[in-house]
Chains A and B, each alone.
Chain A
Amino acid sequence: MSISESDVVNGVDAGPPAGRRSPLNTRRLGDRLLRVYVWLIIAWLFLPIAVMIVFGFNDTQSKSNVTWQGFTLKWWGRLDEYPELVAAVLNSLKIAVLATVITTVIGTLMGLALGRYRFRGQGATNLVMFAAIASPELVMGASLLSLFISAGVQTGFATVVIAHVLFSLSFVAITVRARVIGLDRSIEEAARDLGASTWTTFWRITFPMILPGVVSGALLAFALSIDDFVITQFTSGATQTFPLWIWGATRIGVPPQVNILGTLIFAIGVVIAVVNTVNGRRRT
Chain B
Amino acid sequence: MTEIQVGTEAADAASRSPQTPAIELDEVVKEYVSHGEVVQAVKGVTLTIAEGEFFSLLGPSGCGKTTTMRMIAGFEDPSRGNVRLHGQDVTNVPPNRRDVNMVFQSYALFPHMNVWENVAFGLRRKKVAEAEIKRRVGEILEIVDLTGREKRRPREMSGGQQQRVALARALVNNPRALLLDEPLGALDLKLRQAMQIELKRIQREVGITFVYVTHDQSEALTMSDRIAVMNDGMVEQLGTPREIYERPATAFVAGFIGTSNLLSGTVDCLRSGFAVLRLGDEDQVLAEGGSFSAGEPIAITVRPEKIGISTEEPTGDLSIVRGIVSEVVYLGLYNSYTVSLAQGAEVTVFQQNALDSTSTAERGDAVWLSWRPQHSYAIGS
A187 interface residue, CB < 8 Å from B? yes
Main secondary structure of the interface of A (DSSP, over half): helix
- Contact residues in B for A283 (Cβ distance below 8 Å): 111-112
Distance between Cα atoms of A209 and B109 in the complex (Å): 12
Shortest CB distance A207–B (Å): 10
B residues in contact with A187, CB < 8 Å: 108-111
- How many whole Å from B366's CB to the nearest CB in chain A? 57
Bound: A205/B110 CA distance, A: 7
- CB contact between A189 and one of B75, B100, B125 (< 8 Å): that residue: B75
Question: Interface size for chain B: under 10, 10 to 19, 20 to 34, or 35 or more residues?
Answer: 20 to 34
Interface string of B171-186 (1 = CB under 8 A from A): 0010000000000000
Which A residues touch B97, using CB under 8 A? 195
Binding site for B on A (CB under 8 A): 184, 186-187, 189-197, 200, 204-205, 208-209, 283-284
Query: Known interface pairs A186-B106, A200-B125, A284-B155. Does A193 touch B101 (Cβ–Cβ under 8 Å)?
Result: yes
Given A189-B75, A189-B95, A284-B155, A194 and B108 touching (CB < 8 A)?
no
Of residues A184, A191, A192, A194, which shows the largest number of chain B Cβ atoms within 10 Å of its Cβ?
Answer: A194
A-B contact pairs, 8 of them (CB 8 A): A187-B111, A189-B104, A190-B102, A190-B108, A193-B73, A193-B102, A193-B170, A194-B122
Chain A residues with CB below 8 A from B111, complex form: 187, 209, 283-284
Q: How far is the CB of A246 from chain B (nearest CB, A)?
A: 42
CB distance from A131 to the nearest CB of B (A): 29
Q: Which residues on the B side are within 8 Å of A204 (C-beta)?
A: 121
User: Which single member of A191, A193, A195, A200 contacts B110 (CB below 8 Å)?
Assistant: A191
Point out the residues of chain B lying under 8 angstroms from A195, CB to CB.
96-97, 122, 125-126, 173
The 9 closest A-B CB pairs, nearest first, are A194-B122, A195-B125, A190-B108, A186-B108, A186-B104, A187-B108, A208-B112, A192-B95, A193-B102
* A284 in contact with B108 (CB, 8 Å): no
Cα of A191 to Cα of B73 in the assembled complex, Å: 12
Q: Is B169 part of the contact surface with A, judged by Cβ < 8 Å?
A: yes
- A contact residues around B104 at 8 Å (CB): 186, 189-190
Q: A194 with B125: in contact, given A186-B106, A189-B75 (CB under 8 Å)?
A: yes
State which residues 66-114 of B face A: CB under 8 Å. Answer: 73-75, 94-97, 100-102, 104-106, 108-112
Complex Cα spacing A190 to B97, Å: 13
CA distance A209 to B104 in the complex (A): 18
Give the contacting residue for B96; candidates A184, A193, A209; CB below 8 A.
A193
Bound state CA distance, A187 and B112, in angstroms? 11
